Chain A
């Protein structure tokens, strides 16, 4: 077992953790098999028989709604000889039938029928599909825990995960969001952990995104994260349990700044929100906007985008994303969210490709760093994450917070990483 308590310090992380195959294999077990992982949204499988394929760690899974409305997260693997049952990204079926020997499974994963049954003596109940032992959803966000050992979801989400999901869903007049009509995948030649870091790093924007800032200058990032070390009131927040946030709320100087709009541009939405929440509460929501944070380990709430961080190999990952869609608003409003998502996220957008190339450059630079280098007498292969450690404050609500440019968010992710990897 790798010595994670030595490789992850309070103010530094060893570079071997981004590329070592043994570390990657241990992560798939310790984080993705033993812990809660985001798998999808209920709106993706609204009707019985609707399914989507996902990975939990490296394991191919199917999220499917069964006839009684239940959510199942099943291994995408026939229990007979191991053939994949679904090979498209989504679909709708009344059952799953293997193409090899036509074994047939219910939407709940139970083995229903085997051709030529006389020669098959086992009890069907023994050969249902492997499944995530725990599946729970919170306000439409579906999480699964493969081995069933992770305790209740509420314990995993804690105050921070719950708060961030609540703040997003409360912005939708119905209280529920839906997802955009499709996911886009961004294939990156980096370790997956560059993304919990990068998505929630408040220090890099002036440099990594310099081209976006100068070619599209009227973005609200101007007032929330740019403008010097102490030039704004945004916070880098560690909620605990690996959930972290860049909290822009203190920096917004007008309503709907997060949407790049004003009330007269989106009157239908504002009216619908006031009718649903009351004028005063809606007014607060329109100021505060959606969260920008990570729910450990793989769900990024990117304001009006949802992203899944999918590990592929030590040096490969996919950043999947889609747009948030609100319920109870006019179509033109939701299309605005689609267009904003296209501008920000994905392989051809104005923002995230520059994060991707940066992550790939990190991967390149650390490819020669081995676990053994951590013990070398000459300092070698360490990554510094000390920024702002001395000015973090514990707030009354339990949050650990510092300036937006401080590495509080990154330390929060890695603190939880060390806890679960060393357990």
Chain B
């Protein structure tokens, strides 16, 4: 593949990817934890760094740096109903825009199996901290998804959110960003 430009995505492929991203956003907004978790692969990595998303996540401290097992714990904790920091769940809505999708390097199987995409988008989450301060909190950031086709349907293998405010102290971030 080196030196070649990856073939552009077809219209249907692009629309399918955008539909996935918007569905993922809606499930996160509405705190539908089980349905959201069903979107991820067994090797999912969920990363919210404390600065730009460069370098090895293992080398520093991140706000969120979940492998699949830790993500499962996160979801399980939210589903106990006793996660005070997210009880009740924050009312939220997010605008996801500037969606750009590319085929991941080495993922262009002609039969569609093993297809993998890197998708970037801009996201702003509006969240009301009803659990305590009742403040409206804004979470602007750049999102990078790694999507993979598994048994014919798209799944999320990685989600990285680079918050605009990452270098500064954050309030509770216990919902799905």
Question: Chain A residues in contact with chain B, CB under 8 A?
Answer: 89, 180-189, 208, 210-212, 214-216, 318, 320, 322-323, 335, 338-339, 341-343, 346-348, 350, 353-354, 356-358, 360-361, 363-364
Partner of B169, one of A211, A318, A353, A361: A318
Interface centre among B48, B132, B135 (most CB of A within 10 A): B132
With A181-B59, A189-B135 as known contacts, state yes or no: A208 contacts B169, CB within 8 Å: no
Are A354 and B84 interface neighbours, CB within 8 A? yes
B61 CB contacts on chain A under 8 angstroms? 180-184, 322-323, 338, 341-342, 346
* CB proximity of A118 to chain B, nearest CB, Å: 42
Interface centre among B61, B65, B80 (most CB of A within 10 A): B61
Are A353 and B172 interface neighbours, CB within 8 A? yes
Return the chain B residue nearest A359 by Cβ. Answer: B132
Are A350 and B77 interface neighbours, CB within 8 A? yes
Are B50 and A214 interface neighbours, CB within 8 A? no
* CB proximity of B126 to chain A, nearest CB, Å: 17
> How far, in angstroms, from A364 to B73 measured CA to CA in the complex?
30
Interface centre among B50, B51, B84, B173 (most CB of A within 10 A): B84
Partner of B60, one of A180, A185, A188, A211: A180
Q: Determine whether B85 belongs to the interface, using a CB cutoff of 8 Å to chain A.
A: yes
A350 CB contacts on chain B under 8 angstroms? 73-74, 77
Q: Determine whether B23 belongs to the interface, using a CB cutoff of 8 Å to chain A.
A: no
A216 CB contacts on chain B under 8 angstroms? 73, 77
B interface size (C-beta, 8 A): 35
Q: Determine whether B58 belongs to the interface, using a CB cutoff of 8 Å to chain A.
A: yes
Return the chain A residue nearest B85 by Cβ. Answer: A353
With A181-B59, A187-B171, A347-B170 as known contacts, state yes or no: A354 contacts B85, CB within 8 Å: yes
Question: Chain B residues in contact with chain A, CB under 8 A?
Answer: 48, 50-51, 58-65, 70, 73-74, 76-78, 80-85, 131-133, 135, 167-174
Return the chain B residue nearest A180 by Cβ. Answer: B61
* CB proximity of A357 to chain B, nearest CB, Å: 4
A322 CB contacts on chain B under 8 angstroms? 61
Are A215 and B51 interface neighbours, CB within 8 A? no
With A211-B77, A338-B58 as known contacts, state yes or no: A347 contacts B172, CB within 8 Å: yes
Return the chain A residue nearest B64 by Cβ. Answer: A348
Are B171 and A215 interface neighbours, CB within 8 A? no
Are A184 and B77 interface neighbours, CB within 8 A? no
> How far, in angstroms, from A208 to B80 measured CA to CA in the complex?
13
Q: Which 6 A-B pairs have the closest CB atoms?
A: A185-B169, A360-B132, A353-B85, A187-B169, A211-B82, A215-B77
Given A185-B169, A348-B48, A357-B172, 10 new contacts (CB under 8 A): A180-B61, A182-B50, A182-B60, A187-B171, A211-B84, A215-B76, A339-B58, A342-B65, A353-B172, A361-B132
> How far, in angstroms, from A212 to B74 measured CA to CA in the complex?
9
Partner of B133, one of A211, A320, A360: A360
A185 CB contacts on chain B under 8 angstroms? 168-170
B58 CB contacts on chain A under 8 angstroms? 335, 338-339
B82 CB contacts on chain A under 8 angstroms? 210-211, 214
A318 CB contacts on chain B under 8 angstroms? 169
Partner of B63, one of A208, A335, A339, A348: A348
A363 CB contacts on chain B under 8 angstroms? 132
Can you list 17 A-B contacts with CB-CB less than 8 angstroms, sorted by A residue number? A180-B60, A182-B60, A184-B170, A185-B170, A189-B133, A318-B169, A338-B61, A339-B58, A339-B65, A341-B61, A342-B62, A346-B170, A347-B172, A348-B174, A353-B172, A353-B174, A361-B132
B78 CB contacts on chain A under 8 angstroms? 211
Return the chain A residue nearest B135 by Cβ. Answer: A189
Return the chain B residue nearest A320 by Cβ. Answer: B169
* CB proximity of B67 to chain A, nearest CB, Å: 9
Partner of B51, one of A182, A210, A348: A182
B168 CB contacts on chain A under 8 angstroms? 185, 187
B76 CB contacts on chain A under 8 angstroms? 215
Return the chain A residue nearest B171 by Cβ. Answer: A187
With A189-B171, A356-B85 as known contacts, state yes or no: A212 contacts B60, CB within 8 Å: no
> How far, in angstroms, from A360 to B135 measured CA to CA in the complex?
11
Are A343 and B70 interface neighbours, CB within 8 A? yes
A358 CB contacts on chain B under 8 angstroms? 84
* CB proximity of B98 to chain A, nearest CB, Å: 24
B133 CB contacts on chain A under 8 angstroms? 189, 360, 364
Partner of B85, one of A184, A341, A357: A357
* CB proximity of A62 to chain B, nearest CB, Å: 17
Are B80 and A210 interface neighbours, CB within 8 A? yes
> How far, in angstroms, from A246 to B81 measured CA to CA in the complex?
28
> How far, in angstroms, from A215 to B78 measured CA to CA in the complex?
9
B132 CB contacts on chain A under 8 angstroms? 189, 357, 360-361, 363-364
> How far, in angstroms, from A186 to B74 measured CA to CA in the complex?
18
A354 CB contacts on chain B under 8 angstroms? 83-85
Are B171 and A347 interface neighbours, CB within 8 A? yes
Return the chain B residue nearest A357 by Cβ. Answer: B85
> How far, in angstroms, from A419 to B168 measured CA to CA in the complex?
34
B77 CB contacts on chain A under 8 angstroms? 211-212, 215-216, 350
Return the chain A residue nearest B168 by Cβ. Answer: A185
> How far, in angstroms, from A357 to B82 measured CA to CA in the complex?
12
A361 CB contacts on chain B under 8 angstroms? 131-132
> How far, in angstroms, from A360 to B131 measured CA to CA in the complex?
9
* CB proximity of A227 to chain B, nearest CB, Å: 18
Are B60 and A208 interface neighbours, CB within 8 A? no
> How far, in angstroms, from A12 to B102 measured CA to CA in the complex?
62
